[in-house]
Chains A and B, each alone.
Chain A
Amino acid sequence: MLLAAASGKGKSTLLSLIAGLMEPDAGTIEVAGRNIHSLSGAARDHFRGKHVGMIFQTFNLLQGFSALENVMAALMFGESSPRQQAERAGELLSSLGIQRHSAKVETLSVGQQQRVAVARAVAARPELVLADEPTASLDPANAQSAMTLIQDACRANNAALLCVSHDPAMWARFERKEQL
């Protein structure tokens, strides 16, 4: 699903509400059949780590960590052992065309960093992936290929994708679109 709105209309705020990072003033938000705001503290954080993946415009990768560690980080707050984390992260990175798993993320190209960010978002096999302007800083050609990557990854991992974008070029790629 694509959510479109002009700047300042609250797209990012809505994503933060869905992820349980902000408290709603009224109403309820259900994620994977669960009212995320009925959970408190660590339980909500755990729920988010397990059921919600997030992709950001500037990737927000952990600087100083390798590509593999960045993806493993999405699994470390769950029940996976470090070995299981490494196996899953390695598979994902390879499937997304990243060969230098141990390279520090800051040494990777922008395109490779985006792939790492996508791998991290789907690593925990979440039901929902939230993408906040994931192509805003890319040129039109790269934006299309990046979105293809995100959609393919979500499809491959059976995750619903809620993408916030004000780029009209992305509209055609989504079956469902909403305007704020």
Chain B
Amino acid sequence: MTDWTIILRSLQARKFSTLTTIVTVAVAVAMMLVLVTMREAGKKAFERGCGDMHLLVSADASPLSSVLNGVFYANPPRRPLPWARFEALKTSAPWAYAVPIQQGDSFKGQPVLATNADFFLKFKPNPNEPWQLADGRFFNTDFEVVVGADAARTTGLRVGSKVYLTHGTGMSREGIPADPEPEGHDDHADHADHDHDHDAKHVEGDHSGHVHRDFVYTVVGVLKPTGGSHDRALITNLESTWIIHAKERLEKAGRHEKPTPADLTDEDRKITGVYLRLITREGSDTPANLPAVFDSLRRDTSVTVAAPFDEIRTLDVIVGNVNRVFIAVAGAVMLSSGIAIMLALYNSMEQRRRQIAVLRVLGASKPRIFGLVVTESAIIGLLGAAAGIALGFAGAIVAAAVMKDKLQLLLDPSIPPRALVAVALATVLLAAAAGVVPAFAAYRTSVARNLRPIG
């Protein structure tokens, strides 16, 4: 017979009350963990997506939207940059790389990024971590596509798959993927609607696009996961995208032949952004000339220059305020769960006064009785924290799936160990504190009065 026996018997004697209190604590802990996890994961996901670039140039309205669109595929950029602007830009500073990108196409809701070979050779999706292939190779000619890890998992594409790409996001006005047909493999090209934002005559029924079957892409590679936004993209070369646009231009002019690279004009050769990185000293990621180059580029008002990491920090400040509100709400829920523990134990004191009196007669000191109740309260907190952590893991996975579905943001749903320890410890301490009031009631229990015969 030990103190633990007494505590366990007490918890068993009030099974329903104990269980409901544990569930209350678990929900509060899970809420707190999911919020903390999503905040951390969101921050990391944004940081990862920027890779090792220093600057992003586009024609978007603001630096933040430039980063959200150009790196995180929030929306297809509407304003293109002429190729000549890129040519001028790439010689304007001592760049380690200047990688042109063009966005606006999609496949089954997954964004398509058109770029050149430098995207894979020079731009790193995570600092010091180059691209790695899970299967196949990078593209080396037109109408070849490399699929990000998450896009491959979502669409089922693999090396050898044939696909039609879609202009625009491929979503109907109701937000339903416009492509109703399953993708084919091998010799059958996948069907996708041709959703053309700027070409309303292609709209069929409720869908904002139609299937465009003139150009078949072949999947030549599948990337390993990077944890960033590009994992859900399909990556192809710029020329293929320009050829598709050239076909539309020619059709409008009454010509129906398939264009070749020779048919491309400056009207076709457009991009939506440029990833830029300055040459840096070994061991340093921040070049001394970055502010000067940044200011120099900003003088051209026809482009928007963004320092992605600064924009992410700005976003973090904006979102951080909302997060603080959420965390405050979760904190209030945790406090409520502490009050629930206190009430459950305090109410049980009425039924336990006789037991406490008997224990006192048998030699239990007042501080020991106090300790028994506080420990019991802390155990409820510990069990609630354990259940909450399990619930939090499940909740984080669900929240990550929802974030991916609604915001196209890839989040790592694993809960940081630091958050686990902090939340569990805080819960146990809160529960122990909640046990002080009932413990004090137990401490003050009158032995003589509570040993009298009942009735």
Contacts and interface: CB of A to CB of B under 8 A. Distances in A.
Contacts of B358: 60-62, 73
Q: Give the size range of B's interface with the partner.
A: 20 to 34
B52 to A, nearest CB: 62
A21 B445 CA distance: 11
B440 to A, nearest CB: 16
A72 B1 contact: yes
B426 interface: no
Interface string B349-392: 00000110111111111111000000000000000000000000
B453 interface: yes
A171 interface: no
A64 interface: yes
A19 interface: yes
Contact of A64 (B3, B12, B360): B12
Contacts of B359: 62, 73
Contact of A54 (B1, B9, B361): B361
Given A13-B448, A57-B453, A60-B451, A50 B363 contact: yes
Interface string B148-163: 0000000000000000
Nearest to B360: A45
- Find the residue from B12, B363, B453 having the highest chain A CB count within 10 A: B363
B329 interface: no
Contacts of B454: 58
B163 to A, nearest CB: 67
Contacts of B13: 63-64
Contacts of B451: 56, 60, 132
B5 interface: yes
A128 to B, nearest CB: 13
Interface of A: 12-13, 16, 19, 21-22, 41-42, 45-46, 48-50, 54, 56-58, 60-65, 69, 72-78, 82, 85, 120, 124, 132-133, 136-137
Interface of B: 1-3, 5, 9, 12-13, 354-355, 357-368, 447-448, 451-454
